[in-house]
Amino acid sequence: MKILGRLAVLPALPARIARLHELAFNLYWTWNPEASALFATIDPSVWDTNEHNAVRVLTEADPARLGALAEDNAFVSRVDAVLASFDAYMNPDGTWFSRTFPDAATKTIAYFSAEFGLHESLPIYSGGLGILSGDHCKEASDLGLPLVGVGFLYPQGYFRQRVAADGQQEALYAKLNFSQVPAVPAVDPHGVEITIGVDLPGRRVLAKVWRLQVGRIPLYLMDTDLEANAPSDRTLSARLYGGDHEMRIAQEIMLGIGGVRVLRALGADPLVWHMNEGHSAFMGLERCRELVQGAGLSFDQAREVAAANAIFTTHTPVAAGNDVFSTELVDRYFHDFWPKLGIDRDQFLGLAREDFDWGAGFSMTVLALRLSAQRNGVSLLHGDVSRRMWRFLWPDVELEEVPITSITNGVHTATWLAPPLDALFRRHLSSDWYARLDDPAMWDGVAAIADTELWAAHRAQKVAMITYARDRLTRQRTRVGESVASVTAASNALDPDALTLGFARRFATYKRASLLFRDLERLRRMVADPKRPVRIVFAGKAHPSDQPGQDLIRAVYEVSRTPEFEGRVVFLEDYDMDMARHLVSGVDVWLNTPIRPYEASGTSGQKASLNGVPNCSILDGWWPEAYNGANGWAIGEEREYATAELRDEADALALYRVLEDHILPTYYDRGPDGTPRAWVAIMKEAIRTIAPAFSMRRMVKDYTSELYVPGLRHGRQTDALQFKLARDLTAWKSRVTRAWADVALRAEGPREGRLAVGDPFDVSASVRLGDLTPEDVTVELVASRDDNGTLRDRQTIPMTPTEARDGWHFYAGKLCPDANGSLVYGVRVVPRNRDLINPFELGLARWA
């Protein structure tokens, strides 16, 4: 038959358990173990074979089984307890956000992301960016933020990975049945299902909008697979990160411009707009268009309004990872759009211009940076890397003051904490431990957990992981037609008594999955050592168009199938959130070997340490902030090498030394009861130091206090003044920019010499301002300690105006060194306006 539609017919649930329907359609159950266990109990087979899909369990449930469960007092009591917790969660007396920021509790924060990793039953994520987005939404729900998510509900999601007998990755796509996932059509305030439209060259593309409920947070996802669309447009939202540049720009237009229209159709008027990576940067253009055409603002004024409450988070420290489109492609897709902004082609292209060896490109990251007033990287190191990468947009600003800050990533504790550890924390930490996830003092209680008890919990999780891995390997080998002996061998792979390393992540070349194989003979001795054996579990996908990444998978797989490594090194296919939960809690050490500083942050190691699994990592991403010498191990040094070969050789040697000299001796040093007490001390330190500092709770609180609430207040201020602030600030910026070339600065002070700590010295400055006034600028004395060429401990001291004559304005300043060492100082003049969100956003500075 020709199928017109596909519907899931849910059984009529008995009254006593009828609310399981409601629970299944709220992803709250994905991070509530008791709620998940209810659905697993209904039909364990359907649960285990369908990615733990609660809606699928209810859809396929045997009515007789449901009837029996409704008569089972123990099961009904479990349902009642879960629903009581669910109701209390959904209808609290107050939340952290409402108590902390009561004046902002009714506002809306719009969060745009190309992918959301919420659960393995919703394969609309590819890796770290999506997992972070999903965790962000879950924690926003926990904290009560008024956040709304916007993205795509990809019918084919991200690919399922199969590894052939020769180690070649195969990408398989299966269409997601929307009727069997917790998605419902989104409706407008009048109850009408929402469809939005966006103009692309020669046609209008429509998108149906679906709603997912993530605890208290609604997530609105677009789908272009509609009959009214042309066949090529029906596949626009089919796959995550699929297609060529033309499909990519069309997808990002739908995400950014279409996403704004989704929110308008819902009747939402967010006061904060958060772009999670540059994929959604066109959102800022659509907001400007609304203001130009709807409010009569000039483009510069509209950009001021739109940027004032826009936040951009960049995740990419590698230039090649940022989307850049050719001017020809942008011409084709936007030639009708820039007239709506009141600007010409050159002005439009200039918004996102980035120059390359091959010419000028239209960079989505540059566009996002220019259309946002607040910008951040995702670790301290990544913030520094980002300031270096994008400094050309603010050429006159000191590197440390380039207006890109950082908020280090974290993980959603309830999603990633293994059940044995969860039970342990409930027994030994404070009764309100989950409400205090980001409180370091609460986690100090980990020290009091008996070593034997923590080790037993880890052992239980390790055995569960090995059982899981053996099952996956057995099915993998059976599928490709391997021999009975090979399949049998898979069922005995790994060893619960052997030190087990885990390496699971996207297989991009910079992550160096094969670094451990650089000296195979040395590694062979470690895995074959009868007294101190090593086992290694690998997993991860490479993008279907990333051949070098796929070659890495094949290289790892080939090593795993050689006689000396068979069963001791394994590669598990089809890495997803379910497998990730098993691995980050079940291995003994989490291995991370990226090329520094190419890892923006990384969060898998944070999940591992939360579960008591220490990291062994290159000092990249989040690890330099976390590593304290007692909570894991560092590989190599924080330095650069002359060649890639030297770098890889040095890092590989460092990794082998750490394994042989530190990790293996510590792990196999057992007491009379078999407990490795020195190892357990490292586990405890990993939990104690990393669980609070790198929790998603801490991260979302940081976003809220440092970015969201300032954006909310600035957006409300702009709106309340009917854009007067934006008009005035735009005019001021234009005046200052035009006049800046005429600003001159001279300064006098000691050029060299010696003085004692605490001895002050005077510095004077004279400034010619041209058409500017003293109120337009600040004259500053800037001093730093010179640590062998690296400037540290910067001080910025405003200088005091003293007099004006003959067109010059005179200033005085005093500097009093408070520490010994080499001191350097300078004098500069910078623009000043109380309405600037960042004093360096104009990129203007004049130094004496």
pLDDT category of residue 758 using cuts at 50, 70 and 90 = confident
pLDDT category of residue 344 using cuts at 50, 70 and 90 = very high
For position 7, what pLDDT does the model report? 65
φ/ψ of 197, rounded to 5, equals -130, 145
What string of DSSP letters covers 104-148?
GTTS-EEEE-S-----TTS----SHHHHHHHHHHHHHHHHT--EE
Structure pTM? Answer: 0.95
Check residues 317 and 116 and name the one with the higher pLDDT.
116
Would you report the helix, strand and coil content of the chain in percent, each value rounded to 5?
45, 20, 35
Contact 447, 688 (CB under 8 A): yes
The token pair at 131 is 């997992």
Check residues 319 and 727 and name the one with the higher pLDDT.
727
Q: Would the pLDDT of 6 be above 70? A: no
Check residues 7 and 454 and name the one with the higher pLDDT.
454
As a whole-number percent, the residues of the chain with pLDDT over 90 amount to: 84
Q: Would the pLDDT of 379 be above 80? A: yes
Which of 41-55, 367-381, 755-769 bottoms out in mean pLDDT, i.e. has the lowest? 755-769
- Tokens 């209008």 belong to residue: 204
For position 8, what pLDDT does the model report? 66
Length of the chain: 848
Q: What is the pLDDT of residues 496-519, one digit of tens each?
A: 999 999 999 999 999 999 999 999
pLDDT category of residue 820 using cuts at 50, 70 and 90 = confident
φ/ψ of 207, rounded to 5, equals -140, 130
For position 528, what pLDDT does the model report? 96
- Quick one: which of 17, 47, 21 has its CA closest to 119? 47
Q: Would the pLDDT of 276 be above 90? A: yes
For position 717, what pLDDT does the model report? 74
As a whole-number percent, the residues of the chain with pLDDT over 70 amount to: 99
Calpha distance 18→160 (Å, rounded):
34
Contact 145, 110 (CB under 8 A): no
What is the arithmetic mean of pLDDT over 427-444? 94
Q: Pairing relation of β-strands 272-276 and 310-313?
A: parallel
Please, which residues have CB within 8 angstroms of residue 271's CB and are 6 or more apart in sequence? 107, 108, 109, 309, 711, 712, 715, 716, 719
Which of 312-321, 524-533, 741-750 bottoms out in mean pLDDT, i.e. has the lowest? 312-321
The token pair at 560 is 């795993």
Calpha distance 371→378 (Å, rounded):
19
Please, which residues have CB within 8 angstroms of residue 186's CB and are 6 or more apart in sequence? 193, 194, 209, 210, 211, 220, 262, 266
For position 371, what pLDDT does the model report? 97
For position 357, what pLDDT does the model report? 86
What is the arithmetic mean of pLDDT over 795-818? 92
- Quick one: which of 319, 307, 267, 247 has its CA closest to 283? 307
Q: Would the pLDDT of 757 be above 90? A: no
For position 127, what pLDDT does the model report? 86
